[in-house]
Amino acid sequence: MAAAQAGTYDAIVVGGGHNGLVAAAYLARSGARTLVLEGRGKTGGAATTEAPWPDAPEFEVTRLSYVMSLLPPTIIKDLELPRHGYKIFPMGPYYQAFPEGGSIKLYADDARRNHEEVSKWSKKDADAMPRWDAWLAGLAEVLGPLLLTVPPNLGSRKPRDLSETLRLAWRHRGLDVRTIADVTRLMTMSIADLLDDWFESPQVKGALAVNGVIGTWAGPFEPGTAYVMAHHSIGDVGDGHLGNWGFQEGGMGAVSSAIESAAREHGAEVRLNARVAKVIVENDRARGVVLDNGDELRASVIVSTVHPRIAFLDQIGREHLPPDFVTDIEHWKTRSGVVKINLALSELPDFTADPGSQLQEHHTGSVEMAPTMEYMERAFQDAREGRPAARPFSDGVIPTAFDKTLSPEGTHIMSLFTQWVPQDWSEQPHTAELEAYTDRMIDCYNELAPNFKASILHRDIVGPYEMEQEYGLVGGNIFHGELSLEQLFHMRPAPGYADYRTPLRGLYYGSSATHAGGGVCGIPGWQAARAAIADQKAAKRSGSVRRLTRRS
Ligand SMILES: Cc1cc2nc3c(=O)[nH]c(=O)nc-3n(C[C@H](O)[C@H](O)[C@H](O)COP(=O)(O)OP(=O)(O)OC[C@H]3O[C@@H](n4cnc5c(N)ncnc54)[C@H](O)[C@@H]3O)c2cc1C
């Protein structure tokens, strides 16, 4: 791809979230003159570090996403991210203190300690744990590589699509009847039913169910939540450890900054406060974009990484798209009822079950409010019935247990990823109700750690409305679209277009609403850039621009 006149680029990336930055880095690395257009005054999207309290700028929080897991080693290596500041502290154990007394810790890779911990609640469950871990590891071997696979266009009879489908089937020819049955169970069961098959203790089941409901508009008794658990359990922060999660030094914004720095080093230009209003379409081909200030920028490749409703319905328009594709995007499910609460603390929580506010192991991992599956289900049912949860669920973390860059010496940041509020709260701010919800959330932790409430110096609440208005997360869904079965793999974001291409030539799509998203994994951005680069090369070889419309 060659350089050209001002206002004209080889590639324009719409959205400077981490996926847009990954796409830009790969495009620029391939030699393309690349421009990233980010609507906010800051890159990173949902992977952002911000100082939300003007009167206390010394505190920084990872305002939305909070832990790393799925960024593949290939991306880390290709973009040399550690050299650009990517540095992960592996998380400590999962921790839950119980209202009835006692606690449980679960470790990512310490079977002996897990046995001790689970034995406190059920000897039978402790004995089942190694088999459960092995079962999950077996499934991760099947599902993990799929995350890096471009989904085939299932159902298409075009020779290229058929051969890709056959190649996928061939790769999995070694799967036996049991493995296929296990994958089927994972894909179709609720996390509650699955755990009931394996364990008896409510405390242990509560601990293992958390990953099944993260960011999901579904309680643990809903079919499909078993897969969500697996999606969050097959991660790898680059050190090869299955399901290991970690904190980025400097918060999640530092992940985005590292990717941005790599992209810039390869020559990409990043423009902030550059909101794209429209994609220019000429002869069924994307030719450029118009910003909301009227500026026009042109490129032969456009990679969009914004929410699919914004990318297709707002920025392109129904008239340029096939009607069934438009219907699929209109029907895209994008709810979640998540409220992110960020706290500045004067001291660490002093749990009655594990006393002391000095730093201890149980402060270093996830500090949960998910004592049982029934507790979580009640929180979801409240929201489904149209009320915010009376006793919300929370996946809490205290990154400052490791990361001293986020808050002054002796103080801490605590991030609470909480659920659920009604799905339509993305339509109105609900400010007073969110304050009351946050009070209740804090009360729940205070019952377990009586110093908690008094230790709070500042609080920052991000509800679904702000997620949509400020960050472009339509409906408040944290992944640009639910990880429900009908929205996975070849269906993400729409059947016929799961290969990071779109109905328009020259337009590629690489947001979390594509296969392998969501989460801060960079795979969608990487795949969209690869598709664009491959098509450009093929077009050059054939001396023409190939038509890339995929649906047959
Ligand atoms: C509360 C919360 C907690 C989460 N926790 C985790 C976690 O712990 N771990 C994890 O792996 N994942 C987590 N996630 C999910 C993860 O953060 C997202 O899936 C991921 O960051 C999305 O990246 P993206 O680049 O696809 O999109 P985004 O990050 O949404 O980036 C899209 C970018 O496009 C910009 N944009 C929108 N409209 C326009 C326009 N018209 N013109 C120009 N730019 C535009 C936006 O400002 C944004 O910067 C969480 C998400 C949320 C919201």
Is any atom of ligand 1 closer than 6 Å to the C-beta of 304? no
The whole-number pLDDT of residue 485 equals 86
Summarised one tens digit per residue, pLDDT across range 209-230 is: 999 999 999 999 999 999 888 8
- The rounded Å distance from CA 240 to ligand 1 centre is 25
Is any atom of ligand 1 closer than 6 Å to the C-beta of 519? yes
- The rounded Å distance from CA 16 to ligand 1 centre is 9
Per-residue pLDDT for 154 more than 80? no
Q: How far apart are CA 324 and CA 466, in angstroms?
A: 31
Per-residue pLDDT for 2 more than 80? no
All residues at 6 or more sequence positions from 348 whose CB lies less than 8 Å from its CB, including other chains: 357, 358, 359, 360, 363, 398, 401, 412, 455
Is any atom of ligand 1 closer than 6 Å to the C-beta of 40? yes
Say which DSSP state 474 is in. G
Residue 170 half-sphere exposure toward CB, CA atoms < 13 A = 6
Tokens at 245, concatenated: 């999660």
Which ligand 1 atom lies nearest to the CA of residue 235?
11
- Count of Cβ atoms closer than 10 Å to residue 18 Cβ: 32
The whole-number pLDDT of residue 184 equals 85
- The rounded Å distance from CA 449 to ligand 1 centre is 32
The whole-number pLDDT of residue 266 equals 98
The whole-number pLDDT of residue 235 equals 56
Q: Among 67-76, 83-92, 169-178, 193-202, which stretch is predicted with the lowest mean pLDDT?
A: 169-178
Per-residue pLDDT for 240 more than 60? no
Give phi and psi for 198, each to the nearest 5. -110, -35
Summarised one tens digit per residue, pLDDT across range 404-455 is: 999 999 999 999 999 999 999 999 999 999 999 999 999 999 999 999 999 9
Mutating to test ligand 1, I would choose from 292, 306, 341 the residue with most ligand atoms within 8 A of its C-beta, which is 306
Is any atom of ligand 1 closer than 6 Å to the C-beta of 46? yes
Q: How far apart are CA 86 and CA 88, in angstroms?
A: 7
Q: How far apart are CA 382 and CA 389, in angstroms?
A: 5
The whole-number pLDDT of residue 531 equals 98
- Residue 359 in contact with residue 323, Cβ under 8 Å? no
Q: Is the dihedral of CA 102, 231, 14, 276 positive or negative?
A: negative
- Count of Cβ atoms closer than 10 Å to residue 453 Cβ: 12
Is any atom of ligand 1 closer than 6 Å to the C-beta of 478? yes
Is any atom of ligand 1 closer than 6 Å to the C-beta of 481? no
Q: How far apart are CA 192 and CA 215, in angstroms?
A: 17
SS3 548: coil
The whole-number pLDDT of residue 5 equals 63
Q: Output the 3-class SS for 384-451.
A: HCCCCCCCCEEEEECHHHCCCCCCCCCCEEEEEEEECCCHHHHCCCCHHHHHHHHHHHHHHHHHHCCC
Tokens at 356, concatenated: 């002391």
The whole-number pLDDT of residue 252 equals 98
Is any atom of ligand 1 closer than 6 Å to the C-beta of 376? no
- At 239, the pLDDT band (50, 70, 90 cuts) reads very low
Mutating to test ligand 1, I would choose from 48, 393, 512, 523 the residue with most ligand atoms within 8 A of its C-beta, which is 512
- The rounded Å distance from CA 338 to ligand 1 centre is 14
Summarised one tens digit per residue, pLDDT across range 355-406 is: 999 999 999 999 999 999 999 999 999 999 999 999 999 999 999 999 999 9
Is any atom of ligand 1 closer than 6 Å to the C-beta of 362? no
Long-range contacts of the stretch 280-283 (C-beta < 8 A, 24+): 281/316, 281/317, 281/320, 281/504
